[in-house]
Amino acid sequence: MLEILQQSAISAGRAILDIYNAGPEVTYKPDCSPVTDADACAERIILADLARAFPGVPVVAEEAVAAGFVPDIAGKSFFLVDPLDGTKEFIGRHDDFTVNIALIENGAPVAGVVYAPALRILYAAYQGKAVKTVIDETFRLDDETVIGCRSCGDRMVGLASRSHNSAETIAYLAEHGIADYRAVGSSLKFCLLAEGLADVYPRFSRTMEWDTAAGDAILRAAGGETLTMDGAPLTYGKRNQKDDSDFANPWFVSRGKP
């Protein structure tokens, strides 16, 4: 399975880079969030790959959901896809945008791929193992390394969203004595925790499940965790929520080894 997800993410990333270099066409959704032709192109590639390899598994994909297509996932394993996470970074020509593909079983992310095409780095997790792989100039997997969260020392390093930071996030970092933090785009924040380069990522602004699932899968496989504000693990497949839309996440805190 993992090889299929990796190759699909790489193929989508290759198409994204072509548009990145040529200059994307930007439009806006009803919620005023930007979307580009790269989002649509990458999603088509991933959906075709998943349909061919896993014909019986539903796929919840960001742009398809925006267009009103939501498959039946009740009682089923399913994929979550964000074809281009960090669209604002992509438009602003920052390199920290990613392709996210995750497999959800019983509400938990059990496999995931996060590919940063501009950085030529791919993170992946499956069966409790997290890895980081360099992608060479011919778009092949090269130099794979097993990764894991670090034990937190006296001086914690925090992560915050580059484009969606909030006063609550800054307050959380201050309350926990975390003066050293980096602003990073996309799901790479989860991967930096999984790699042992940071300790905590508080998120007190809106995210959707496709934004977080793949990175969360990698973090969990690396020994970390993502908890909601009541201390429960973040779950996936949230439908018919009383106070929010389908697949919307509550606030959460992701961290390396407790």
Label each residue of the chain as H, E or C: CHHHHHHHHHHHHHHHHHHHHHCCCEEECCCCCEEEHHHHHHHHHHHHHHHHHCCCCCEEEHHHHHCCCCCCCCCCCEEEEEEEECHHHHHCCCCCCEEEEEEEECCEEEEEEEEECCCCEEEEEECCEEEEEEECCCCCEEEEEECCCCECCCCCEEEEECCCCCHHHHHHHHHCCCCEEEEECCCHHHHHHHCCCCCEEEECCCCEHHHHHHHHHHHHHCCCEEEECCCCECCCCCCCCCCCCCCECCCEEEECEC
Q: Where are the domain boundaries for CATH 3.40.190.80 in the chain?
A: 157-255
CATH match for 157-255 among 3.30.420.80, 3.30.2130.10, 3.40.190.80, 3.30.70.1400: 3.40.190.80
pLDDT digits (tens, 9 = 90+) for 138-155: 999 998 999 999 987 678
Q: Is the pLDDT of residue 166 over 90?
A: no
pLDDT digits (tens, 9 = 90+) for 181-222: 888 988 999 999 999 999 999 999 999 999 999 999 999 999
Task: Quote the percentage of the chain above a pLDDT of 90.
Answer: 78
Task: Quote the percentage of the chain above a pLDDT of 70.
Answer: 99
Task: Specify the pLDDT at position 161.
Answer: 84
| pTM listed for this prediction | 0.95
pLDDT digits (tens, 9 = 90+) for 14-32: 999 999 999 999 988 887 7
Q: Where are the domain boundaries for CATH 3.30.540.10 in the chain?
A: 2-146
What topology is assigned to 2-146 in CATH? Fructose-1,6-Bisphosphatase; Chain A, domain 1 (3.30.540)
